Structure 1
Amino acid sequence: MTGPHGTTAEVPLDALVAGLAVDVPDFPAPGVVFRDLTPVFADGPAFRRIVEGLAAPSLEDPRAAAVARDGASGDPGFDVVVGVEARGFLLAAAVALHAGVGVVPVRKAGKLPRERVTADYALEYGTATIEMHTDSLHRDQRVLLVDDVLATGGTLAASVALIEELGAVVTAVSVVVELAALGGRQRIAPHAVHALWTT
């Protein structure tokens, strides 16, 4: 991709996401503006940069420092990537592959066949339930939690609760877009949040 700032590799990451994402008004409910990131995912060079960005959370917050890649040992700073249904699956799988670790899904209710833990939460246009298999994580396992958008923080806060219920440790939360006005970052505090584009 070539844009007004040059090639994909030259464009700042936040500008790259902003330039490719499409705002869809009144979806999935009136008054909600949906940030459609599928054009970002469809652009190969842009997607690669996003995956690399999500895998390397900011080190400004001490909690995020644990996620720093240790070049000497090859340790990415997390043992597994957890992705939130549904667009988070695309991102988490790619980040896990990039980092050389496994990936675990957080699914909507009724999708997992075995014993699971469950969390209910509110979001900007209703309520929902998410679940994880009880054996998907183990105690003290380091988790990088990945999703596409941080809005009110309901989904990610519930995901953090599930991860911690299973005894694992959330080292950071990485998202492509943060809608700052909705206050989701505060809902996830004190966990470190790394957003590629804050709007």
Structure 2
Amino acid sequence: MLEKLRSLVRDIPDYPSEGITFRDITPLLCDPAGLSLAVEMMVNPFRTMDIDIVVGAESRGFIFGTALARALNAGFVPIRKKGKLPGDTISQDYELEYGHDTLEIHRDAIKSGQNVLMVDDLIATGGTLEAGVKLIKQLGGNLVGISVLIELEGLDGARLVAPHPVHAVLRY
């Protein structure tokens, strides 16, 4: 099963800058069986947990986050780049593998004490997920786990979100 998924992830060298290998999940997203398998493998460790909200970071976190929310009968909350959400938001700056940015979430998106699962397509340096964790905690959410399709182990991003364990389907 893992080899099927791995075969659907395309390596693009030197993108977005020299020395970085981009893991393109577009072929996986285009393959119905591959997409279904990826979602199942991302959600399975969390099926027995009482999860109220799944949070997904822009933009590929939306793809998997909504699918996991549906599978868990939970709500979905988007975390977006600065200036993309209307209304009252809170923000968190972060560093990523090839630059820096700011994420925002609606101030009323998570109620204090709600159980939250954070989802993204990939963890590299961990900056995006770290910012998401901080936003969830600022709103009083109880982060029960993090699920990603891909972990780039050599970049050690999971250390930034410790002690929260990262469930990764594929590791490179």
Which of 49, 53, 58 is residue 85 of structure 1 equivalent to?
58
Alignment TM-score, normalising by the size of structure 1: 0.83
Q: Which has more radius of gyration?
A: 1
Q: How far apart are residue 30 of structure 1 and its match?
A: 2.2
SS in 1 for 2:19: coil
Percent identical: 43
Which 4+ stretches in 1 moved above 4 angstroms? none
Tell me how many residue pairs correspond in the alignment.
Answer: 172
Q: How far apart are residue 97 of structure 1 and its match?
A: 1.2
Name the structure 2 match of 1:25.
13
Which of 10, 20, 38 is residue 50 of structure 1 equivalent to?
38
Distance 1:77 1:19 in 2: 33
Q: How far apart are residue 32 of structure 1 and its match?
A: 1.6
Note the residue ranges of structure 2 that are not aligned, 5 or more in a row: none
Distance 2:128 2:167 in 1: 16
Name the structure 2 match of 1:5.
none
Q: How far apart are residue 56 of structure 1 and its match?
A: 2.1
Matched AA of 1:173: I
Farther off after superposition, 175-184 or 92-101 = 92-101
Distance 2:71 2:27 in 1: 21
Distance 1:170 1:29 in 2: 33
SS in 1 for 2:44: coil
Name the structure 1 match of 2:139.
166
Distance 2:47 2:97 in 1: 32
SS in 2 for 1:55: helix
Q: Tell me how large the CA RMSD over aligned residues is.
A: 1.1
Residue deviations 1:132-161 (CA, integer Å, cap 9, x gap) = 000000001111100001100000001000
Name the structure 2 match of 1:177.
150
Contact 2:47–2:72 (CA under 8 A) maintained in structure 1: no
Name the structure 1 match of 2:119.
146
Matched AA of 1:79: D
Distance 1:103 1:151 in 2: 23
Name the structure 2 match of 1:36.
24
Q: How far apart are residue 68 of structure 1 and its match?
A: 4.5
Name the structure 1 match of 2:83.
110
Matched AA of 1:178: E
Alignment TM-score, normalising by the size of structure 2: 0.96
Q: How far apart are residue 55 of structure 1 and its match?
A: 1.2
Distance 2:129 2:52 in 1: 19
